[in-house]
Structure 1
Amino acid sequence: MRAVKNLLVLYTGGTIGMLETAEGLAPAGGFEARMRDHFAQLTDAPQVPWTLHELNPLLDSANMQQHNWLAMRDAIVAAVDDGHDGVLILHGTDSLAYSAAALSFLLLGLPIPVLLTGSMLPAGAPDSDAWPNLCGALRQFEQGLQDGVQLFFHGQLLGGTRASKLRSEAFDAFKALPRHRQGERAAEVPSALTYRQPRTRVNLALMPVYPGLQAAHLAGLLDSGVQGLLLECYGSGTGPSDDLALLEVLRAARQRGVLLVAISQCPEGAVEFDTYAAGSRLRSAGLISGGGMTREAALGKMFALLGAGLDVAAAEHWFALDLCGERA
């Protein structure tokens, strides 16, 4: 770890820089001037040198999409090429954990640290957490951070593939879920999966298992051109395994090259297919285990693997290995 001397602040929008409009809070430009004005009033302002770049368009993170992840990835790679030795991303909280996870996989092998932060209240609002989160993140760069992607919020430093938003209003909105992680670490990451590899958008879908889920529901989703399905199963990876029509829908999807991944709906625990016959049957239909991965990490990993052009067999191979702390 080393202190950062040339930081890029990548402002994507989000609550931290929002201003009031007739329709409510909305993203606003000009945040660099507001940052510099605020720091000029502090006697203990962070001393790390920084420049700010605004992504266009600025977003309420509820509108975050895959192409925005790719734009962030491109901006970060350009920052490395321009000599920056760290990147701070200012981001809205709704999809902050999703972006942190996706970028963790899009930036494998990145030789600089990347940190994401945001706030629950806008900068300038009474008792806002915006300046404490921003100053705290900048001080992390002063102290030194490990390379790769992390999230800083309310005084906590969290791994990019571990964080989830658990609270919609409290300042300590993000936590690392106590999910069981046990997986083999990849010996090395192939060049096709490193940060230099461009990616394309991927048609991904997410569906929870629930009482009343029908084969027709699943078939309708999969028939929409889905390339990867994340199925949120019960407990240790079970589902309606007595429904032969549903199992056949899954089996047919896998045979035509759809990546099928199972994670647990539970905030604690992991997928262990062999615990119950109901889990074993899902695995036999083509599902692979996401272990103790979070929803955010599993979606981000599917996006990075399939977006790199891997076929389903290769994607399954790398999905089963730990690439950046998501499984181990």
Structure 2
Amino acid sequence: MTQPAQNVMVLYTGGTIGMQASANGLAPASGFEARMSDYLASQPQLRVPAWRFREMAPLIDSANMTPAYWQRLRVAVVEAVEAGCDAVLILHGTDTLAYSAAAMSFQLLGLPAPVVFTGSMLPAGVPDSDAWENLGGALVALGEGLSSGVHLYFHGELLAPTRCAKIRSFGRKPFATLQRQGGVARAESVPGTLDYRQDKAPACIGVLPLVPGITPAQLDGLLGSGIQALVLECFGSGTGPSDNPEFLASLERARDAGIVVVAVTQCHEGGVELDVYEAGSRLRSAGVVSGAGMTRETALGKLNALIGAGLAADVIRQLLAVNLCGELD
């Protein structure tokens, strides 16, 4: 069910959209509320809902985004909704926008309002900038009505954040929906600790892409670094160096230590099915959990929410196969 937004909170985190030149290059800058107000006043044909503005602290280049910042964003969204806003627009840098939008999809489970992420590839005010078209388009979309949950808006498109990634470092269309599939989502009850109103601790999660010649020592180094979970980017449908007993033993030690290891595919299309090849089934036997069609961004964001909610490793493994917000559609 969609409802036209009447009162939007705009959360400004920084990013290219509001950057200005500094001695060391483009940097996040305050004062974007006035610039946004001036632009919208100059465009009376745009039918946008009423809006408020909050500048997050600190303003950051999105390359500096962290799970701790996601928690500040979650709190800011909840505060806005509890204060009477019926939608939230988050202005964010594009480099980690897909990560944040995916992560916040899980952080805001059950939120009775739509949240839209947008940003721009060029700063507002420079020639050929996409800043105002993205900001204005996102506000118009909210005014026309969006379903509850998190959305990503860019270049006239609404994208499901648990299915997309930034695939280009240039141009007006940096984001794309990846054609991912694999596995069947089980229907199970969702723990109350995942509710959007519940505080969640920032999690420490590693990501390791497999490459030919990767050694058990490399895997051991990451697993021994204090991470609570690992996103293992496997070959194809979920294969890895299964003829290396030391590599498999390292994965088994991770399982026994309560470190959840989730396999996702390195491919842009498809997904993980660990039992198709022996090289995949051996990973499963060593404790690796299938991430099915989840993207790297989505697996990272889901693990952050599950671990941050304080769930036990066995519960996390079960919930990785449960479709919480479209990540396994």
TM-score after normalising by structure 1? 0.98
Alignment of 1:43-122 (within 5 A): 43-122=44-123
| Structure 2 counterpart of 1:222 | 223
| Structure 2 counterpart of 1:231 | 232
| Structure 2 counterpart of 1:138 | 139
Once the 2 structures are TM-superposed, how far is the Cα of residue 185 of structure 1 from its aligned partner? Answer: 5.2
What is the DSSP-based 3-state SS (H/G/I as helix, E as strand, rest coil) of the residue aligned with 1:161? helix
What is the DSSP-based 3-state SS (H/G/I as helix, E as strand, rest coil) of the residue aligned with 1:98? helix
Q: Output the amino acid matched with 1:216.
A: A
| Structure 1 counterpart of 2:255 | 254
Q: Output the amino acid matched with 2:187.
A: A
Alignment of 1:19-58 (within 5 A): 19-58=20-59
Alignment of 1:98-247 (within 5 A): 98-184=99-185, 186-247=187-248
Is the 1:15–1:118 Cα contact (8 Å) retained in structure 2?
A: yes
What is the DSSP-based 3-state SS (H/G/I as helix, E as strand, rest coil) of the residue aligned with 1:172? coil
Is the 1:186–1:323 Cα contact (8 Å) retained in structure 2?
A: no
Q: Output the amino acid matched with 1:28.
A: A
- The ranges of structure 1 where at least 4 consecutive aligned residues each deviate by more than 4 angstroms after the TM superposition are none
CA distance in 2, matches of 1:182, 1:82: 40
What is the DSSP-based 3-state SS (H/G/I as helix, E as strand, rest coil) of the residue aligned with 1:164? strand
CA distance in 2, matches of 1:5, 1:78: 17
What is the DSSP-based 3-state SS (H/G/I as helix, E as strand, rest coil) of the residue aligned with 2:133? helix
Once the 2 structures are TM-superposed, how far is the Cα of residue 46 of structure 1 from its aligned partner? Answer: 3.1
Is the 1:46–1:135 Cα contact (8 Å) retained in structure 2?
A: no
TM-score after normalising by structure 2? 0.98
| Structure 1 counterpart of 2:275 | 274
For structure 1, which runs of at least 5 residues remain unmatched after alignment?
none
Once the 2 structures are TM-superposed, how far is the Cα of residue 192 of structure 1 from its aligned partner? Answer: 1.0
CA distance in 2, matches of 1:101, 1:157: 14
CA distance in 2, matches of 1:46, 1:25: 31
Is the 1:122–1:128 Cα contact (8 Å) retained in structure 2?
A: yes
Once the 2 structures are TM-superposed, how far is the Cα of residue 212 of structure 1 from its aligned partner? Answer: 1.1
CA distance in 2, matches of 1:324, 1:181: 16
Is the 2:182–2:272 Cα contact (8 Å) retained in structure 1?
A: no
For structure 2, which runs of at least 5 residues remain unmatched after alignment?
none
Is the 2:20–2:28 Cα contact (8 Å) retained in structure 1?
A: yes
Is the 1:16–1:123 Cα contact (8 Å) retained in structure 2?
A: yes
What is the DSSP-based 3-state SS (H/G/I as helix, E as strand, rest coil) of the residue aligned with 2:147? coil
| Structure 1 counterpart of 2:302 | 301
What is the DSSP-based 3-state SS (H/G/I as helix, E as strand, rest coil) of the residue aligned with 2:275? helix
Range 198-207 or range 85-94, more displaced: 198-207
What is the DSSP-based 3-state SS (H/G/I as helix, E as strand, rest coil) of the residue aligned with 1:210? coil
- CA displacement 1:39-78 (0-9 Å, x = unmatched): 1111313330000000000010001011111100010011
